[in-house]
Structure 1
Amino acid sequence: MDRDLISKKDLLDTTGISYGQLYRWKRKQLIPEDWFIRKSTFTGQETFFPKDLILARIDKIVNMKDDLSLDQVADKLSPMLLDYELRKSAFSERNIVSRVVLEQYASADPEHTVYSFEMLLTFYAVDKLLQTGEMTMDEGGRLLTVLREHFQKFEGKPCDLIFIRKMGVSTFLLVSAYADIYFDTGVKIVAKLPMAELIEQLRGKLI
Structure 2
Amino acid sequence: MSEELISKKELLDLTGISYGQLYRWKRKSLIPEQWFIRKSSFTGQETFFPREKILQRIDRILNMKEDLSLDDLADVFSPNPGEVSLSVEELLERNIVTSTSLNLYLETVNITDQPILGFEKILVVYALDLLLLSGDISLEEGRLLVRTLDKYFPGKTGRECAVGLTRKMGVPVFFLVPGDGGMFVDDETRTVAKLSMARCTEELKLRMGGSEG
Q: Within 1, Cα distance between the matches of 2:171 and 2:40? A: 37
Aligned position for 2:173: 171
Q: Within 1, Cα distance between the matches of 2:166 and 2:40? A: 29
Worse-superposed segment, 167-176 or 143-152: 143-152
TM-score by length of 2: 0.77
> Paired residue for 1:161, among 160, 163, 178?
163
In structure 2, the CA distance between the partners of 1:35 and 1:143, relative to structure 1 (3 Å rule), is: farther
Aligned position for 1:189: 191
Q: Within 1, Cα distance between the matches of 2:200 and 2:13? A: 27
Corresponding letter in the other structure for 1:116: G
In structure 2, the CA distance between the partners of 1:35 and 1:191, relative to structure 1 (3 Å rule), is: farther
Of the two structures, which has the highest relative contact order with CA contacts closer than 8 Å and spacing of 6 or more? 2
In structure 2, the CA distance between the partners of 1:152 and 1:4, relative to structure 1 (3 Å rule), is: farther
Corresponding letter in the other structure for 2:138: T
Corresponding letter in the other structure for 1:60: M
Equivalent positions of 1:37-186 (< 5 A) are: 46-49=48-51, 50=53, 51-61=55-65, 63-65=67-69, 74-75=74-75, 77-106=77-106, 108-111=111-114, 113-154=115-156, 156-186=158-188
Displaced runs of 4+ in structure 1, greater than 6 A?
1-6, 37-45
The secondary structure found in structure 1 opposite 2:185 is coil
Task: Compute the displacement of 1:147 (Å).
Answer: 1.5
Corresponding letter in the other structure for 1:184: D
TM-score by length of 1: 0.79
The secondary structure found in structure 1 opposite 2:95 is coil
Render the CA deviation track for 1:94-133: whole Å, top value 9, x for unaligned.
222221112222254433x111111111001011111122
Q: Within 2, Cα distance between the matches of 1:41 and 1:185? A: 37
Worse-superposed segment, 27-36 or 132-141: 27-36
> Paired residue for 1:204, among 194, 200, 206?
206
RMSD: 3.3
Conserved in 2, the CA contact under 8 Å of 1:80 and 1:199? no
Conserved in 2, the CA contact under 8 Å of 1:84 and 1:116? yes
- Structure 1 stretches lacking a partner, 5+ long: none
- Structure 2 stretches lacking a partner, 5+ long: none
The secondary structure found in structure 2 opposite 1:86 is strand
